[in-house]
């Protein structure tokens, strides 16, 4: 796999797909397939880790906090994360993210502080002795965490890009807008539904299931075509249906 090659030309990897399209499964596959030949650290943005300091601290903890001395010292200088009291505000909808800005602090001020901290993290990452690639994974990127987009594209990606042993995977329903100069250094995969009945017939076989047939006749492929049309071939929707098929009788 290109991500593991020492001369990797595209160290940043984007995976985009809607819910149930297989992002989580693909990342789990990466963990299984790459875990033995790389150091892989995953941070899930879906649990509201939307501050660069928290994200980087999580990566450092997963890779070994003692290896990130400069970053840890700078993080301590920045002080503990502050708290805010918010009153008389109604929040409507699901998966909302609330952040606070200190009086007089602009978005650019916060970005500049995050970029300084990222610089220390990157310097520590550069100095790590390694025998295999270090892969940082950010899962759950979507519009709810778009506040980190500028930090991601102006600080983390440019910092990771020149480090020979570092890689970055970003997965989510949305993708940040990349500066053109980094386009050639990134690989983007957009997950889509699987629309071929032959592919799902293989899954049915591997799951040791038998496909029900329409009343009055019809083959398994025709039955699956109906499921595919109804679900648009979305893996996370079709798989529970297939697992609900009757099991094949033991031979």
* Fold (topology level) of 2-78+101-190: Rossmann fold (3.40.50)
Q: Is the pLDDT of residue 41 over 80?
A: yes
Query: Would the pLDDT of 238 be above 80?
Result: yes
pLDDT at 96: 46
* DSSP line for 73-137: HHHHHH-S-------S----SSS-------TT--HHHHHHHHHHHHHHHHHHHHH---SS-EEEE
Mean pLDDT taken over the chain? 81
pLDDT in tens, 141-192: 886 676 788 899 889 999 998 898 999 999 888 888 877 777 788 888 888 8
3-state per-residue secondary structure call for 14-28: EEECCCCCCHHHHHH
pTM above 0.95, yes or no: no
| DSSP states of 151-183 | HIIIIIHHHHTT-TTEEEEEEESS-PPPPGGGG
Percent residues over pLDDT 70 in the chain: 80
91-102: pLDDT as tens digits: 554 444 445 555
pLDDT at residue 177 in the model: 80
What local confidence, expressed as pLDDT, does residue 193 receive? 85
Q: What is the pLDDT of residue 248?
A: 83
pLDDT at 83: 45
Q: So where are the chain's domains?
A: 2-78+101-190, 197-243
pLDDT at position 73 is: 93
pLDDT for 101-110, tens place per residue?
Answer: 555 568 788 8
Q: What pLDDT score was predicted for residue 185?
A: 83
Which tens digits make up the pLDDT trace of 49-100?
A: 678 999 999 999 999 999 999 999 999 988 654 444 555 555 554 444 445 5
168 vs 6, which has greater pLDDT? Answer: 168
């Amino acid at each position: 796999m290109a991500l593991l090659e020492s001369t990797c030309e595209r160290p940043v990897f984007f995976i985009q797909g809607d819910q149930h399209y297989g992002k989580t499964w693909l990342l789990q596959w990466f963990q299984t397939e790459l875990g033995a030949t790389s150091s892989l650290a995953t941070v899930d943005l879906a649990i509201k880790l939307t501050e660069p300091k928290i994200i980087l601290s999580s990566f450092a903890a997963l890779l070994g906090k003692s290896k990130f001395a400069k970053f840890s010292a700078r993080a301590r200088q920045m002080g503990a994360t502050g708290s805010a009291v918010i009153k008389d505000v109604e929040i409507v909808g699901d998966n909302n993210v609330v952040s606070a800005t200190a009086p007089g602090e602009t978005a650019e001020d916060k970005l500049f502080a995050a970029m300084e901290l990222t610089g220390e993290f990157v310097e520590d990452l550069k100095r790590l002795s390694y025998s295999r690639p270090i892969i940082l994974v950010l899962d759950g990127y979507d519009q709810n965490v778009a506040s980190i987009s500028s930090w991601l594209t102006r600080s983390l990606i440019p910092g990771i890009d020149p480090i020979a042993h570092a890689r970055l995977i970003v997965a989510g329903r949305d993708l940040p807008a990349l500066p053109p100069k980094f386009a050639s250094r990134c690989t983007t995969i957009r997950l889509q539904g699987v629309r071929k009945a032959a592919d799902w017939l293989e899954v049915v076989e591997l799951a040791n299931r038998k496909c029900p047939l329409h009343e009055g006749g019809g083959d398994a492929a025709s039955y699956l075509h109906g499921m595919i049309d109804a679900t648009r071939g979305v893996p996370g929707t079709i798989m529970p249906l297939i697992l609900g098929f009757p099991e094949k009788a033991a031979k």
